[in-house]
Structure 1
Amino acid sequence: MPIARRSAIVAACSTALLAFAGTASAQSWPTKPVRLLVGFPGGSTPDVVARIVAEPLSKALGQPIVVENKPGASGNISADLVAKATDDHTIGVVINGNLTSSQMLYPNLPYDPAKDFSYISLLATAPLVLVANNNLPTGKEFLPAAAASGQKWSYGSVGVGSVGHLGMELMESRVPGFKAVHVPYRGNPQILTDMIGGQVQLALIPPGLAMPQVQAGKVKAIGLTTAGRSALVPDLPSLSEIGVKDFNLEVWTALLGPASLSPVAQKRLSTELAVIMKSPDVRKKLFDQGWQAVGTSPEGMKLRVKDEAAIMGKIISTKGIKLN
């Protein structure tokens, strides 16, 4: 056999063996049930997303996915448990703040978002709806009227440092003359109740909670926080369309593991999720809950976190936002 041909055959066989070894290695994980930690109570938005994803992920991995709710400190307690896990079978669902703003808001945060995790994938995103009391103008009339009034507009959020809080602070910085005062609440339902009653004027609320009240005529929808329109609320304009420049903000959930997570596990999870998040069944279930399925590479997730952390960090620093 000619040497060139023999070398080609050897090279082909080596490539095939390496590919087989890689596949075999990937299939060797997981070797036992996988814990999926969620930093919020059962029935919360992150919990709903986690359970929708857990079922098909369990089938793909061939091992049970055990969802464990570990609420507290806006999800930071659960995130810290993931960061400190060492068994290669503990992962977690987190929200924006756990990776983009908590480090700036909590001086003693026990984990480093940039160093203590293996990023796996963004799972789902949703815009926020700027909703208003029925006494306020909407559409393109709102911003000029709000800016010209000279008054401070009250707005509710689920707490200092939440996306709803930071998003309104961001909007205030992008709209000359618009002034707002923050009123913290325990949850979005309480905000909507007080808005209907006239105790608070504005809020940024996820569409799954906001739109039923809008459709019932109890509050008004002004616009979405995305750069363009969203399939979740196709008839509602973006805030950019009505005059808020360079405004693009979403809430999201993501999957990550500890920094010690093996590359094999990280790749397997990311690869399986890329398929799962394209599934019509999963996409519909998430859509019905007010979410759009995403699915990204670890690198894509890391870039999203980096970009958003820079925006949130600037707002927190400029506005001097602190947690008591």
Structure 2
Amino acid sequence: MSRPVVVPVPRRAALALAIAALTSSPWALAQQAQQSSAQKPAAKPAAPAAAAAPVAWPTKPVRIIVGFPAGSSPDLTARTIAEPLSKALGQPVIVENKVGAGGNIGADAVAKARDDHTIGLMINGNMTIAKMLNPAVPYDPIKDLAPLSLIGTSPLVLTAPVSQPGVPATADAREFFVAARNGGDKWSYGTPGVGTVGHIGTELLKSRSNINPVHVPYPGYPQVATAMLGGQLQMALLPPALAQAQVKAGKLRAIGVTSSGRSPLVPDVPSLAEAGITNYNLEIWNAFAAPATMPKPIQAKVAALISEIARSPDVRSKLFQQGWQVVGTSPEGLANRIKADTNLLGGVIAMRGIKAE
């Protein structure tokens, strides 16, 4: 049996073969790969996907829901804003009246809208104390509505008959409050209903001035004014336009405005502060809101447009004639006002145990 032939390999050749075998092992290949990778420049990260272009808005007509009848103050404000807003958006803007429950039916419709093309014009009660007055209200003003812009504010005017027992014909505001204190619960005051700003505001006034008239609710402010003219009421907080019309006709007297200072809406009427009523500031207001589910970019766009339109000279003049001192705030400005009024009016509701009927 023959033996295998062993061919001697020179030392240098043997060393070369060993190196070749070593460098071909998996471990060596991995090491080489790491070194090669370290020597190469780092790969650039993949470019992020291009951000989706914003969706064009509006893509159809925009609705403004108003919870009050056609011809009411909120309705007039909504229609004053609607025309220039339509021009700015390039789409029709339709005012839709959903009347009832002091504007809460309309506010609920706004809160539940999901078409991203619905906003609402509301009074302060709808956006502040609605749920405090009546837990059965189907929407939550804080959670379900997104503030857009506070449009206009107005004080109320404390008004009384020109002549009434116990009040001198020449009585100023301080003398009027003396007579009201003497009248106690034999006096009465009227409002458009339980839980309205006129109601809560007068209850606040009672606590600030130590008077005690009895509350008598009516369907609306015109009926309150008529009752005062007939002698059934001794006092009431009325909107400036209605109060001024009766005062100029010589049928009612203006005692004072509920704002902290005199109002440009009724510059000749003193503030109640001038009559010694301290820490008292009450205003009614209207504002635009959107469903809280409306995308934030759309909220921001429509809020900016509405605010700008409200502060334009032409619209400002029209709203002033309607009885509003124009503000035209940002959403944050309206949110701050909502918080302040909720605290103020909510405190009166709790103190007096007021519940909507």
Do Structure 1 and Structure 2 share a fold, with TM-score over 0.5? yes
Matches within 5 A, 1:127-166: 127-135=155-163, 136=167, 137-166=171-200
Distance 1:267 1:243, change over 3 A: same
Distance 1:147 1:240, change over 3 A: same
> 1:55 and 1:173 mapped to 2: Cα distance?
43
> Offset of 1:46 from its aligned partner?
0.5
Secondary structure of the residue that 1:241 maps to in structure 2?
helix
The match for 2:292 is 259
One-letter code aligned to 1:165: H
> Offset of 1:320 from its aligned partner?
0.9
Distance 1:150 1:90, change over 3 A: closer
The match for 2:232 is 199
**1:201-249 deviations in Å (ceiling 9; x for gaps):** 1111101111010011001000001001111111111111111111111
One-letter code aligned to 2:111: A
Residues 1:106 and 2:134 aligned together: yes
Secondary structure of the residue that 1:31 maps to in structure 2?
coil
Residues 1:54 and 2:82 aligned together: yes
> 2:135 and 2:161 mapped to 1: Cα distance?
36
The match for 2:150 is 122
Secondary structure of the residue that 1:227 maps to in structure 2?
coil
Matches within 5 A, 1:172-183: 172-176=206-210, 178-183=211-216
The match for 1:14 is none
> Offset of 1:274 from its aligned partner?
2.5
The match for 2:241 is 208
Task: Name the count of aligned residue pairs.
Answer: 302
Percent identity reads 56
Residues 1:65 and 2:85 aligned together: no
> 1:138 and 1:192 mapped to 2: Cα distance?
20
Secondary structure of the residue that 1:115 maps to in structure 2?
helix
> Offset of 1:99 from its aligned partner?
1.6
Secondary structure of the residue that 1:252 maps to in structure 2?
strand
The question of whether the paired residues in 2 share the 8 Å contact of 1:138 and 1:220 is answered with no
Point out the structure with max Rg over C-alpha. Answer: 2
One-letter code aligned to 1:303: N
The match for 2:282 is 249
One-letter code aligned to 1:72: G
> Offset of 1:149 from its aligned partner?
4.2
Secondary structure of the residue that 1:114 maps to in structure 2?
helix
> 1:194 and 1:230 mapped to 2: Cα distance?
26
> 2:187 and 2:319 mapped to 1: Cα distance?
33
Residues 1:43 and 2:76 aligned together: no
**1:143-180 deviations in Å (ceiling 9; x for gaps):** 2232244454210000000011011000001112x111
> 2:350 and 2:281 mapped to 1: Cα distance?
19
Secondary structure of the residue that 1:146 maps to in structure 2?
helix
> Offset of 1:68 from its aligned partner?
0.2
The question of whether the paired residues in 2 share the 8 Å contact of 1:154 and 1:182 is answered with yes
> 2:128 and 2:214 mapped to 1: Cα distance?
23
> 2:153 and 2:160 mapped to 1: Cα distance?
23
Secondary structure of the residue that 1:63 maps to in structure 2?
coil
> Offset of 1:59 from its aligned partner?
1.0
Query: Structure 2 residue aligned with 1:300, among 330, 333, 354?
Result: 333
> 1:38 and 1:258 mapped to 2: Cα distance?
14
The question of whether the paired residues in 1 share the 8 Å contact of 2:128 and 2:142 is answered with no
One-letter code aligned to 2:181: A
Secondary structure of the residue that 2:311 maps to in structure 1?
coil
The question of whether the paired residues in 2 share the 8 Å contact of 1:39 and 1:70 is answered with yes
> Offset of 1:62 from its aligned partner?
1.3
**1:7-46 deviations in Å (ceiling 9; x for gaps):** xxxxxxxxxxx9xx99x848x2111110100000000110
Q: Which moved more, 1:144-153 or 1:236-245?
A: 144-153
TM-score, length-scaled by structure 2: 0.82
> 1:232 and 1:295 mapped to 2: Cα distance?
17
